[in-house]
Amino acid sequence: MNILINEKKSEPVAAGIKTNPGADCRWPDSERYSGISFCDAVRAATEGDGKAFTLDSESITVCRWSKVVLGFKEPDPALDLKVQHNLPFGTESILIAPISMFDAECPPDTVLIRTTPAKIKKIIKLAGESSLADEHADDLSKSALAVLSKSGNSIEKTRVELVNGALARLNSLEQWRDFTKWIFKHQLTTYVFDLLLDKYLANMSMCRNSTVMPFLSGKLNVSYFCTGGIAWGMNSPDHMTCGMPYEIYARIAPLIADGPRS
């Protein structure tokens, strides 16, 4: 399961990746999620007092790539070659819920934190270089670790932040939100639109970069938000997303006990 820290509250939210948590674990009762994307499900789970949602192969209605990344859909050789780092096809369900709903005997797999770059830099320092997914650092679509380093590309950093800021402003328009849903609901327009933004944005920022990649690699990764992370996840363009295995989080948690806040 994955922990996702609420931007408005300090209580984490957990997402269970394993289909069967084991005989000694009891996961919370949940509603079946049906909506746009994984990042929208995270947003819904962290609203108000928090809710528990179960995602399955029919839950995500718009974002085709998150279905592939999460193992709900087989990759299409013509359109999904760039997905990579996905859970094996056949994932039955993923649970998203506030961590307080989980039994303490069922430890989570990874932790996802959405906060400011300054606070993520602190988390990176606390985790240590050996805990970072450096193999992806030079690919901005998958990781922003290089951008956050002292030798990071300032041009890339400025470019991504400008584009994300523009997307956030557009997101205030209902017509734009409807447009993004239309684009990502169709294979061809998804592919063409992604080609236009591929050099300027992250891809699959919350589902792949901050959830699946840390789960598979056992290392911490950082990402700018993708189009869906801003348009559907309603995340601030001034924030970034950071995912790490629970073991790393548990080690540094006492030093960030109050949780990174905006």
pLDDT score for 23:
57
In this prediction, residues 192-204 reach a mean pLDDT of 64
Burial (CB count within 10 angstroms: exposed 0-12, middle 13-18, buried 19+), residue 157: middle
Domain residue spans of the chain = 2-256
pLDDT of 224-241, one tens digit each? 898 888 888 888 888 889
* Residue 10: band (very low, low, confident or very high) from pLDDT cuts 50, 70, 90: very low
Is the pLDDT at 8 greater than 60, yes or no? no
Q: Residue 123 CB: number of other CB atoms within 10 A?
A: 21
**E strand or H helix at 13, and its extent?**
strand 12-16
Indicate the angle between helix axes 174-185 and 187-197, nearest 10 degrees: 110
Least confident of 37-41, 152-156, 176-180: 152-156
Distance, in Å, from the CA atom of 75 to the CA atom of 45, rounded to the nearest integer, reads: 27
pLDDT at 29 > cutoff 70: yes
Give residue 3's identity as a one-letter amino acid code: I
pLDDT at residue 35 in the model: 93
pLDDT digits (tens, 9 = 90+) for 72-125: 988 876 665 566 788 888 888 888 877 677 766 777 777 888 888 888 999 999
What is the pLDDT confidence band of residue 218, given thresholds at 50, 70 and 90? very high
